[in-house]
Structure 1
Amino acid sequence: MPGSVVITRPRAQAESLARAVAALGRTPVLLPLLEIAPLADQSPLAAALADLERYALVAFVSPNAIDAAFAHLEGWPRQVALAVLGEGSRAALARHGVDSGKATILAPLDPARSDSETLLASLDLAALAGKRVLIVRGESGRELMAEGFSTAGAEVTVVPAYRRSVPALSPQLAAQLRALLDSPNDWIITSSEALRGLFALLRQLGDALVEQMQQQHVIVPHARIAETAQALGLARVTLTGSGDERLLAALQSQS
């Protein structure tokens, strides 16, 4: 019998995937490895979004960025293009009533590489020269996207929308990790930061648990996460490409 399916997304984004996993006849286990919190000062985000029409493009780095932004919005101006990194962000836009019929949504052409590099390579950057671009992201993050737009001649504004952090190692979390590593499971990892955080937690519990994790099967949507997994010594990594349907198809192939 296959083991459980460990879903490591932030809790607010994990429940729909957990229902889909259960519909496959598998047992989902929620193990949020990133905690998402609103920033105490929302005024920079609200100010940046107050006059969207001045931007030629707004880039969202994650579904969390979209959810945080739309808490300040009642709609989206059709003439302002959006850029996202993966299918999860497309789904987040759809939840807020924005799809390709209502706005221009740009994304990486390669679903296995839903990252800033591939997004930049997929865009007509020359067309953004002299125009304004807004990037909505977490409080910290990679600078590559902003640098790419700036190099192309765009006037770039970067605004933080939320804070993310790895949970502290509580006795309850330690017990859950030990229990999960007692048997083989399928782990869905959708963030390199979360994966690095998981190994940091396990190192606090001892090398034996790190070695047990390295033998688990992980399913990842992006090549960058697969590279992180391999660098951390994980022996069984399945790369699916962006989108929950691809994650679920990989699970079915393991059954």
Structure 2
Amino acid sequence: MIIEPRLLVTRFAPHAERLANSLNDSGCFSIAQPLLTVTELDDPKTLDTFLSGYYDYVIAVSGNAVRYAQQQINIDWPKACYLAVGQSTQNILNEVTVQDVLCPLTRFDSEGLLDLDELKSIKNKRVLILRGEGGRDLLETTLIERGAKVDFFQTYKRIKIDLNGHELVNNWQQASINGAIISSVEILNQLFMLVPKEYTSWIDELIFYVPSERVAKQAALLGAQHIVLLPSLHTDQIVEFFKVNNGNCI
């Protein structure tokens, strides 16, 4: 059975609106509804250590982590081996560091990063992970197991937006929303927390478009029955994905 996608875009603002507008312009009905917002965190001690050139490797796990770090940096980024979890983050990191940034070719998650040759032999190397508050334990754990010294530069924290779940789900149902673009585990969890229990069957039947196996696994644990891996979180690639595939998973 072919399903014409009618999408809920849950990314942070303003990215949700930009993606929804691009999808609508391409003929794919979409509604933007950010579920979380972010606010900057200050960590002067780690920032000073970073800017001193102390770290051999710097890993960015999100575009927001890079953007909020850049707001605190008034000089050139130090020389290091820079890596990014996905292509969108890679593009942002390339721009601010003016250096080549490595990125997985296919799997855009912690496992993809850890499979890069550059992170396989890092004994006694100093690694800084740019991220939001909380984050990816697998990345830290595995790097430490490989002998690296790992620190974090937490540049922002996520904040839940106060929303009316009943009202929103009614609006989404009236718009015949049948799919949701989810960019992170945190946003996925927030969506399931937002939707009232009486709508459990509705959310379980949504098609979840996710960027990584990590998010896909969590969606399955929460009860999602239809999960599709996106090629990237880059707006142009998502739009092209729905043009070519029509978003079909059934």
Band of TM-score, shorter chain: 0.7 to 0.9
Partners of 1:123 and 1:166 lie apart in 2 by 37
The residue matched to 2:24 in structure 1 has which SS?
helix
Match of 1:178 in 2: 170
1:223 shift after superposition: 1.8
Q: Deviations over 1:26-62 (max 9, x none)?
A: 33321112221112x44245324332x2211111111
Q: Where do residues 82-97 of structure 1 align in structure 2 (5 Å cutoff)?
A: 82-94=82-94, 96-97=95-96
Match of 2:141 in 1: 147
Q: Where do residues 50-61 of structure 1 align in structure 2 (5 Å cutoff)?
A: 50-51=51-52, 53-61=53-61
Query: Would the aligned equivalents of 2:84 and 2:93 in 1 still touch at CA under 8 Å?
Result: no
Large movers: runs of 4+ above 4 Å: none
1:97 shift after superposition: 4.2
The residue type equivalent to 2:205 in the other structure is Q
Question: 1:251 aligned to 2:247?
Answer: no
The residue matched to 1:181 in structure 2 has which SS?
helix
Select the residue among 118, 123, 131 that pairs with 2:125.
131
Select the residue among 93, 100, 106 that pairs with 1:104.
100
TM-score by length of 1: 0.83
Q: Deviations over 1:84-106 (max 9, x none)?
A: 11112123225x444xxx42312
Q: Where do residues 192-211 of structure 1 align in structure 2 (5 Å cutoff)?
A: 192-202=185-195, 205-207=196-198, 209-211=199-201
The residue matched to 2:124 in structure 1 has which SS?
coil
The residue type equivalent to 1:5 in the other structure is L
Alpha-carbon spacing, 1:42–1:56, altered in 2? closer, same or farther (3 Å): closer
Query: In angstroms, what is the RMSD of aligned CA positions?
Result: 2.4
Q: Which has the higher contact order (CA 8 A, sep 6+)?
A: 2
TM-score by length of 2: 0.84
The residue type equivalent to 2:76 in the other structure is G
Question: 1:218 aligned to 2:211?
Answer: no
The residue matched to 1:108 in structure 2 has which SS?
coil
Query: Would the aligned equivalents of 2:90 and 2:102 in 1 still touch at CA under 8 Å?
Result: no
Q: Which runs of 5+ in 2 are unaligned?
A: none
Query: Would the aligned equivalents of 1:49 and 1:72 in 2 still touch at CA under 8 Å?
Result: no
Alpha-carbon spacing, 1:215–1:32, altered in 2? closer, same or farther (3 Å): same
